[in-house]
Structure 1
Amino acid sequence: MKAYKHLSITVTDKNVAIVKMNHKQSRKFLHANLVQELIKAFEKLNEDKEVACIILTGDEETFIAGAEIKELTGISVSEAYESAEKMKALQKLVVHSAKPYIAAINGYCLGGGLELALVCDIRLAGENAMFGLPEVNFGIIPGGGGISRITEIVGKSNASKMIFTGEMISAIKALEFKIVSDIVEDPLENAISLANTLAMKSKLAIATAKKLINRKHWPVNYQENVEQEIYAFSLLFDYPDSVEGMGAFLENRNPIFKNE
């Protein structure tokens, strides 16, 4: 398997591919280079006839701690839209794959990291996992379909609270909200065990079931919803609040929004 800078891929003897993000290189954030490498990796794994299941994981402290704010600071509306489109392309590779994707989550799973986890078929959380959509703190909104998906999973009231406050929730609360299927001591170990079980099943049966499970996620209306999110996300980069929110984060201070 091709060597990557920001992630590593290991294929077990049970034909399970483990995609582990190298946070020493990526600084725990979902930056543009990591997104591009994930796209290439998922494309290859989806095409590999031997691979039966894909596991996505980070390290013991972080799954993905959101977008790289430095990359978003000062960008134009069109650049923001292009960034969100890349995320959509990455997510489609997971949703439209015939193979099951399992997210093994330790530590922080925030922003774009949560949006990526939400498109995985199964999500396992460690006891230390924390989930959130903190974009409001930067004067923007989730730009990768997170609003539609989290609302579908947790309901309008819970989704509104998460999105409006930007606060993180614990693994226990995420289980209660059905964001994850299980809380386990070792998410990666449990994901491998589950993937080994899935690898023994009929690939055609799983592919067919996955297509039916996901059929309501990418119909015309859902695609329109995601496009509206991407468009709204992008337009916020033309307003002062996004500049203040991201600047405050990079300067390690509380943002002061004018709210005019």
Structure 2
Amino acid sequence: MVLLEQTVGSGSEIVVLTINRPHAKNALNGELVEGLKQTINRLEQEDRAMAVIIKGAEGNFAAGADIKEMATAPEEKIAEIAGRVGDLHEQIASSPMIFISCIEGYCLGGGFELSLVTDIRIAHADATFGLPEVNLGILPGGWGTQLFTALAGSSNAGHYLLSGEFFSSERAHGMGLVSLCTDEPYEESLRLAGKIAAQSRPALWAIKQLISGQQLSVLRKGLKSEREHFLALFKDGEAREGLAAFMEKRQPTYSRGAGYGE
């Protein structure tokens, strides 16, 4: 199974969802994204969970999207994948449940974007973050450009989005991307989830709407533009070369996109 579900504590208010593709460092593929969507929908219908912890199996959160799945996909499939990811992120952002990302190891690309959509991020002191899509000739198409900028500021976002460089938990904490760095992220996630689950559900939902709901209302135009540019890179840019080079473990040969954006 690519997604494991566990109810913790004496009640059923806290649910732990584990991304379970350790052979691929928990890279997000279509099956996993669809599994998350269906599971979250079911939890909302059951109306029992108040806090949901998302973590990765065997020491990594998620090392990006599944490059193999994207490398040979036709443009319509790429659009479908982007739409599916966008739907998942919209679902998390608009859910009355509170989502906590428990981050260990690699939290990169699409995995990092997934964590940015959650309400709270708690990271291991040795976790590694990044949005390295530019190294593949593409851009973060799952709200990454907009949420990174909103949370960390345009200069910090520009530094890491344009260079594709990784950064540490300490740096992520300094930029306000995670609330806590600790050697025991799962224990801290459970502790915090327990405190949250003991609160008034209407109060939690009101606070979440005021934090993330207002933020998203401001970002809507940017999110739409991000999706358009992401898809355009597959049509007019050099995404195919970047992805192929990654798969073949070589340096990409770009034409520098002469005329792109005119």
Q: TM-score range by the shorter chain?
A: over 0.9
Deviation at 1:60, TM superposition (A): 4.4
Contact 1:241 1:257 in 2 (8 A): yes
| Distance verdict in 2 for CA 1:57–1:26, change over 3 Å | same
Out of 205, 213, 232, the residue aligned to residue 211 of structure 2 is 213
How many pairs are equivalent? Answer: 255
Q: Does 1:241 align with 2:238?
A: yes
Out of 133, 139, 142, the residue aligned to residue 141 of structure 1 is 139
Q: Name 2:222's counterpart in structure 1.
A: 225
Identity percentage of aligned residues? 33
Contact 2:64 2:108 in 1 (8 A): yes
SS at match of 1:189: helix
Q: Name 1:43's counterpart in structure 2.
A: 41
Letter in 2 for 1:231: E
- The higher-RCO structure (CA 8 Å, 6+ apart) is 1
Out of 151, 158, 169, the residue aligned to residue 160 of structure 1 is 158
TM-score (norm 1): 0.93
Q: Name 2:2's counterpart in structure 1.
A: 6
Residues 125-180 of structure 1 deviation map (CA, whole Å, 9 limit, x = unaligned): 00121111111011011101110110011111110111111110000000001100
SS at match of 1:218: helix
Alpha carbon RMSD of aligned pairs, Å?
A: 1.5
Deviation at 1:187, TM superposition (A): 1.1
Q: Name 1:87's counterpart in structure 2.
A: 85
Deviation at 1:47, TM superposition (A): 2.3
Deviation at 1:44, TM superposition (A): 1.2
Deviation at 1:25, TM superposition (A): 6.4
Q: Name 2:113's counterpart in structure 1.
A: 115
| Distance verdict in 2 for CA 1:38–1:168, change over 3 Å | same
How many angstroms apart in 2 are the aligned matches of 1:50 and 1:74? 41
Q: Name 1:172's counterpart in structure 2.
A: 170
* Equivalent runs, 1:49-68 vs 2, <5 Å: 49-68=47-66
Contact 2:93 2:213 in 1 (8 A): no
How many angstroms apart in 1 are the aligned matches of 2:182 and 2:243? 34
Deviation at 1:208, TM superposition (A): 1.1
Contact 2:136 2:246 in 1 (8 A): yes
SS at match of 1:101: strand
Structure 2 residues not aligned, in runs of 5+:
none
SS at match of 2:213: coil
Contact 1:127 1:183 in 2 (8 A): yes
SS at match of 2:223: helix
Q: Name 1:258's counterpart in structure 2.
A: 255
How many angstroms apart in 2 are the aligned matches of 1:73 and 1:50? 39
How many angstroms apart in 2 are the aligned matches of 1:76 and 1:52? 39
How many angstroms apart in 1 are the aligned matches of 2:165 and 2:37? 29
Q: Name 1:30's counterpart in structure 2.
A: 28
Deviation at 1:27, TM superposition (A): 4.9
SS at match of 2:62: strand
TM-score (norm 2): 0.93
